[in-house]
Amino acid sequence: MPKKLDPDDIRIFSGRSNPALAKGIARYLSIPLEKTHTRPFTNDNLWVQLGASVRGRAVFIIQSLVPPVSDNLLELLMMLDIARSAAAREVHAIIPYFSYARSDKKDAPRVSIAARLIADLLKTAGATHVMTMTLHSPQVHGFFSVPTDPLTARELFADHFRTRDYTPQDTVVVSTDIGHAKAAARFARGLGGLPVAAGNKTRMSDTQVRVEGLVGAQIQGFQRALVYDDEIATGGSVKEVCELLVKAGLKEIIVICTHGVFLGPALQRLADIPEITEIVTTDTVPLKKRNRPANLTVLSVAPVFGEAIKRNYLRESIGGLFSYWDEEG
């Protein structure tokens, strides 16, 4: 069992989707981020080359499945295939945002369960291990036939808020839907046992949702709500829940999500609700600094992935970093 990281035994590469996060992870580990060379052919095919030898080494390839998702996925598959074909000892796919986790079931005739398909493609391409963060549907974890670690940013969020002295008398944690209420409850426990409520949500389409009410803690009488979600894409779910909270009389709302995708009018939808005083997300999805709202806080998950990579390499437990349970003791 290795006692410390061996810079000559580890290779870290990044695709083009989130180079800033990849640099942060490499910096946390004090391991160089190796170069990756990419260019399109004249027929629009992609050419990829890893810029350092991987033979006999542990290789970590970092790529988020963010728009353009198909291009980034293909680049990731090619990088995995290159590492395997060049005789890497281990090939780790580090996917901070696995967007296909939404495609977890066959909900219409003649459609693909795309999350399972992508999981199979990652293995076929050469991944011996996958690491990701906060899958939209927890059951997607079971689609992978290689060891897969779903990490959480929950402690990052908890650390961000612990100094604010929120109490169960003035603050409630609200999940945008019942399906994510357990995750919200874990977060609430980390802040001293705050009460929890959840939206009773029905998805009408990819861009439309209806929240018919809140279940759990009674909302009236609280000073603020922490609205906790796994990701915000169009902002429809969060907007509906926040409007219910405003109607219930809450004067302060803080929106929290792991994956800030923020497509189209999402940020404007939130800006239109003056009671939202802060939006807190992470850098699993890269956000342009231009046009960021002043109340947007971005926390880096580089230490979480860096620590998980280090423990994995040293053959140590990473259970305490997992999404779906709390490690005791």
- pLDDT one-digit tens code per residue, 230-244: 999 999 889 999 999
pLDDT mean across residues, the chain: 91
Distance CA 277, CA 267 (A): 13
pLDDT at 287: 92
pLDDT tens digit sequence for 168-192: 999 999 998 888 888 999 999 999 9
Q: 210, 265, 270: which is closest to 234 by C-alpha?
A: 265
pLDDT above 60: residue 328: no
User: What tokens were used for 55?
Assistant: 């033979």
Q: Hey, which residues does 256 pair with through a beta bridge? A: 228, 280
Q: Hey, which residues does 151 pair with through a beta bridge? A: 133, 322
Residues contacting residue 222 through CB under 8 Å, at least 6 positions apart: 170, 171, 172, 250
250 and 118 part of one domain: no
213 and 90 part of one domain: no
Distance CA 83, CA 125 (A): 9
pLDDT above 70: residue 37: yes
Long-range contact set of residues 24-27: C-beta below 8 Å, sequence gap at least 24: 24/283, 24/300, 24/302, 24/306, 25/62, 25/94, 25/302, 25/305, 25/306, 25/309, 27/302
pLDDT above 50: residue 322: yes
What's the average model confidence in pLDDT over 143-147?
A: 94
219 and 111 part of one domain: no
220 and 185 part of one domain: yes
The residue written with tokens 């929240």 in the block is 211
Percentage of the chain beyond pLDDT 70 is 92
49 and 135 part of one domain: yes
What's the average model confidence in pLDDT over 299-324?
A: 91
pLDDT above 60: residue 132: yes
Catalytic residue among 106, 182, 201, 288: 201
Q: Is residue 327 part of a domain?
A: no
Number of compact structural domains in the chain: 2
What's the average model confidence in pLDDT over 153-181?
A: 92
Q: Note if 201 is an active site residue.
A: yes
Between residues 107 and 281, the one the model is more confident about: 281
291 and 180 part of one domain: yes
CATH of residue 43:
3.40.50.2020
pLDDT at 217: 64
pLDDT above 60: residue 204: no
144 and 247 part of one domain: no
Q: Is residue 2 part of a domain?
A: no
Query: What length is written for the chain?
Result: 329
pLDDT at 286: 96
The residue written with tokens 């807190």 in the block is 280
Q: Is residue 4 part of a domain?
A: no
37 and 72 part of one domain: yes
pLDDT at 212: 47
User: What tokens were used for 255?
Assistant: 């929106």
Q: Is residue 63 part of a domain?
A: yes
pLDDT above 80: residue 215: no
78 and 136 part of one domain: yes
Q: Is residue 37 part of a domain?
A: yes
pLDDT at 108: 85
196 and 118 part of one domain: no
Q: How far is CA 31 from CA 60, 192, 205, 229, in A?
A: 11, 37, 44, 33
Phi, psi of 211 (to 5 degrees): -110, 115
What is the domain range of residue 135?
Answer: 10-152+303-321
